[in-house]
């Protein structure tokens, strides 16, 4: 049975459960459940703190897990990212009161508060900056107001939390993060679980594709086909079928959902008609 770690709370938890559900896996019914078995898919899910997931996976007791890239790196665990999942996107940045610092070089001798001590200490060391790092569990935006630190380093998504605390980002972003699937470094070459891991990854990739692509169908005159196909090249190559009306063909191809409206306009301008898009519910590439 494949053993998978899933975030039990926080920003990663809801979207991770939703993605697993879309991939056909059974998920827990209430938030107090710590583990469930999905017998049909031969998978056991363990609901753990996002920060602990890379550590469990690196111990080899769990086969894979879903966590944030920033949490994986911060943990220093012997685990690696094997699939980015596109949700819980954030940037990790320094911030402070306006006028305190404008770049990392200004941080020498200062104190930086963060929940991600591993990332911050390494980043400062890599830049040869001698600053103190103080670890706080969360709500680090308040640390400056209360005099615990001159600077913070934290997850920024919309920037609302920083604005509300009267803080501004400065310097280059330290890293970009999103939810990722992680696995112990070196696993995968010899493990019995490998075929099941690959099947799990294909299912999640299917969800990612179904979320980002739509199916497009249209009719066009044969003489315009090359130009039309250039607009809708599909993933492999579009399907072309003859129409009963001579000189016309039907075309079917997957297109990125974000570009669908623009492509429909361009196809229409080319003379294509009966242009339809439909959602993809599931997919195996
Ligand atoms: N506002 C946000 N928008 C997008 N991603 C976020 C946001 N806040 C946190 N994350 C991401 O979610 C992960 C951490 O989740 P979260 O902060 O909810 O958990 P935690 O801090 O470990 O737990 P807790 O919420 O109990 O302190 C990180 O990968 C982080 O980049
Ligand atoms: O840029 P924003 O959209 O405001 O999002 C960023 C905020 O979200 C996270 O906090 P969270 O809610 O996880 O609380 P925490 O700080 O207690 O972990 C993060 O630590 C920031 O405070
Ligand atoms: Mg948090």
Q: What is the pLDDT of residues 117-126, one digit of tens each?
A: 999 999 999 9
Mutate to test the pocket of ligand 2, among 161, 164, 178 (most ligand atoms within 8 A of CB): 161
CA distance 120 to 94: 9
**Mean pLDDT of all residues in 24-29:** 96
Ligand 2 centroid distance, CA of 30 (Å): 24
246-252-256-258 Cα dihedral, nearest 10 degrees: 50
Q: Among residues of the chain, what percentage have pLDDT more than 90?
A: 96
Q: Is 232 in the pocket of ligand 1 (CB under 6 A)?
A: no
Radius of gyration of the chain (CA): 24
**Residue 213 has what pLDDT?**
97
CA distance 217 to 224: 15
Smallest CA-to-CA distance from 88 within 140, 36, 50 is with 50
- Which domains are present in the chain? 2-86+178-191 (3.40.190.10), 90-176 (3.40.190.10), 214-279 (3.30.70.120)
The string of pLDDT tens digits covering residues 186-201 is: 887 667 788 999 999 9
The string of pLDDT tens digits covering residues 158-178 is: 999 999 999 999 999 999 999
The Cα diameter of the chain in Å comes to 78
Smallest CA-to-CA distance from 90 within 180, 7, 168, 178 is with 178
Q: Are 44 and 38 in contact (CB under 8 A)?
A: yes
Ligand lying nearest the CA atom of residue 70: 1
Ligand 1 centroid distance, CA of 38 (Å): 27
Q: Please, what is the angle between helix 194-212 and helix 13-22, to 10°?
A: 100
The string of pLDDT tens digits covering residues 58-101 is: 999 999 999 999 999 999 999 999 999 999 999 999 999 999 99
Q: What is the predicted ipTM?
A: 0.93
Atom of ligand 1 nearest to the CA of 115: 21
**Residue 255 has what pLDDT?**
98
Q: Are 98 and 44 in contact (CB under 8 A)?
A: no
285 — pLDDT class (breaks 50, 70, 90): confident
CA distance 30 to 218: 45
**Residue 193 has what pLDDT?**
80
**Residue 58 has what pLDDT?**
97
- The overall pTM is greater than 0.90: yes
Ligand 1 centroid distance, CA of 108 (Å): 28
Ligand 2 centroid distance, CA of 156 (Å): 7
Convert the chain into a string of H (helix), E (strand) and C (coil): CEEEEEECCCCCHHHHHHHHHHCCCCCCCCCCCCEEEECCCCEEEEEECHHHHHHHHHCCCCCEEEEEHHHHHHHCCCEEEEEECCCCCEEEEEEECCCCCCCHHHHCCCEEEECCHHHHHHHHHHCCCCCEEEECCCCCCHHHHCCCCCEEEEEECCCHHHHHCCCEEEEEEEEEECEEEEEECCCCCCCCCHHHHHHHHHHHHHHHHHHHEEEEEEEEEHHHHHHHHHHCCCCCCCEEEECCCCCEEEEEEEEEHHHHHHHHHHHHHHCCEEEEEEECCCCCC
CA distance 255 to 267: 13
Given a cut of 80, whether residue 145 has pLDDT beyond it is yes
Phi, psi values for residue 207, rounded to 5°: -65, -45
Atom of ligand 1 nearest to the CA of 13: 18
Share the mean pLDDT of the chain. Answer: 96
**Residue 266 has what pLDDT?**
98
Q: Are 277 and 216 in contact (CB under 8 A)?
A: yes
Mutate to test the pocket of ligand 1, among 31, 50, 72 (most ligand atoms within 8 A of CB): 50
Ligand 2 centroid distance, CA of 157 (Å): 8
Ligand lying nearest the CA atom of residue 154: 2
Ligand 1 centroid distance, CA of 115 (Å): 10
CA distance 75 to 65: 14
């Amino acid at each position: 049975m494949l053993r998978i770690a899933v975030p039990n709370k926080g920003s990663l938890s809801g979207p991770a459960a939703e993605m697993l559900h879309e991939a056909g896996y059974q998920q827990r019914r209430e938030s107090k459940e710590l583990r469930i078995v999905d017998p049909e898919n031969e998978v056991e899910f363990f609901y753990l703190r996002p920060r602990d997931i890379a550590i469990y996976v690196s111990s080899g007791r769990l086969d894979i897990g879903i966590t944030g890239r920033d949490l994986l790196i911060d943990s220093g665990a012997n685990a690696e990212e094997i699939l980015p999942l596109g949700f819980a996107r954030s940037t990790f940045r320094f911030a402070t009161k306006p006028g305190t610092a404008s770049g990392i070089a200004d941080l020498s001798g200062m104190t930086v508060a963060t929940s991600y001590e591993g990332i911050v200490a390494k980043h400062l060391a890599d830049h040869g900056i001698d600053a103190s790092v103080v670890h706080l569990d969360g709500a680090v935006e308040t640390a400056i107001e209360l005099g615990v630190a001159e600077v913070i380093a934290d997850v920024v998504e919309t920037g609302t939390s920083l604005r509300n605390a009267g803080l501004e980002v400065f310097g280059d972003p330290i890293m970009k993060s999103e939810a990722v699937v992680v696995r112990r470094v070196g696993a995968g070459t010899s493990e019995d679980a490998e075929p099941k891991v690959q099947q799990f990854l294909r299912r999640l990739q299917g969800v990612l594709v179904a979320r980002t692509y739509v199916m497009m169908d249209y009719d066009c005159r044969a003489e315009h086909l090359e130009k039309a196909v250039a607009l809708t090249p599909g993933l492999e190559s579009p399907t072309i079928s003859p129409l009963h009306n001579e000189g016309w063909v039907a075309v079917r191809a997957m297109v990125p959902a974000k570009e669908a409206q623009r492509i429909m306009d361009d196809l229409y301008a080319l003379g294509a008609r009966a242009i339809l898009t439909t959602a993809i519910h599931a997919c195996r590439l």
